[in-house]
Amino acid sequence: MTTENLVPLPLASLPNAKFMWAHPARCIALGFGAGLSRIAPGTVGTAWAWLTFLLLQAHMTDGLWALLIGASLLIGWWACTVTAKHMDVADPGCIVWDEIVAFWLVLWLVSPTGFWGQLIAFALFRYFDAAKPGPVAWADKSFKGFGARGGFGIMFDDLVAAFCTVFVIALWRVI
């Protein structure tokens, strides 16, 4: 079982704003700064996704959400691939674009729902993403490395975590 870094990491081992702003792929992959958090960057990225979802929600149709999420997946694949290569780390914890897009997908699919439904979705998604039970662990191990395969892997395990989250919420709604 793997978990997010909950203990502050030394500043020398983390990218900084200068690193992030030096390349557009890094800005995207690091969630425009959310991934620079020293504590729980994946959780911060997921919270950023929730906030931006709430800000965009009133202006979006299902078609626009599908377009945004689809384009974000493709752009994120590129951005995660490039940023991982620049950092020389196959799946750096500071890359949070995978959490952002996957959680947008969760919120879009469980909508309409209020604050408590979104909070449950947040907690479930964070559980599946951090603890990596069953299929999420398989997805996390299946596409390790650098290049396009590794960039896809960074995005893929979060999409599986999103699927697991939506599946649990769908079961809950049926029961």
Residue partners of 22: CB distance under 8 A and separation at least 6: none
Is residue 24 assigned to a domain?
Answer: yes
For residue 147, name the pLDDT band (cuts at 50, 70, 90). Answer: confident
Tens digits of per-residue pLDDT, 113-142?
Answer: 999 999 999 999 999 999 999 999 999 998
46 found inside a domain: yes
- The answer as to whether 3 is a domain residue is no
- Percent pLDDT > 70 in the chain is 93
> Looking at the domain assignment, is residue 169 inside a domain?
yes
CA distances from 67 to 71, 76, 129, 141, 149 (A): 6, 14, 24, 28, 23
Domain membership of residue 4 (yes or no) is no
With respect to residue 7, please indicate whether it lies within any of the assigned structural domains: no
User: DSSP assignment, residue 94?
Assistant: T
Q: Is residue 65 part of a domain?
A: yes
Residue 158 falls inside a structural domain? yes
Which token pair is 132? 């990596």
Find the domain containing 96 and state its range: 12-174
Q: List, as one string, the DSSP characters of 75-94.
A: HHHHHHHHHHHHHT-SS-TT
**Tens digit of pLDDT for each residue in 57-87?**
999 999 999 999 999 999 999 999 999 999 9
**Mean pLDDT computed over 133-158:** 91
Counting the structural domains of the chain, the total is: 1
CA distances from 115 to 10, 54, 123, 141, 173 (A): 35, 10, 12, 33, 16
Predicted pLDDT at 10: 45
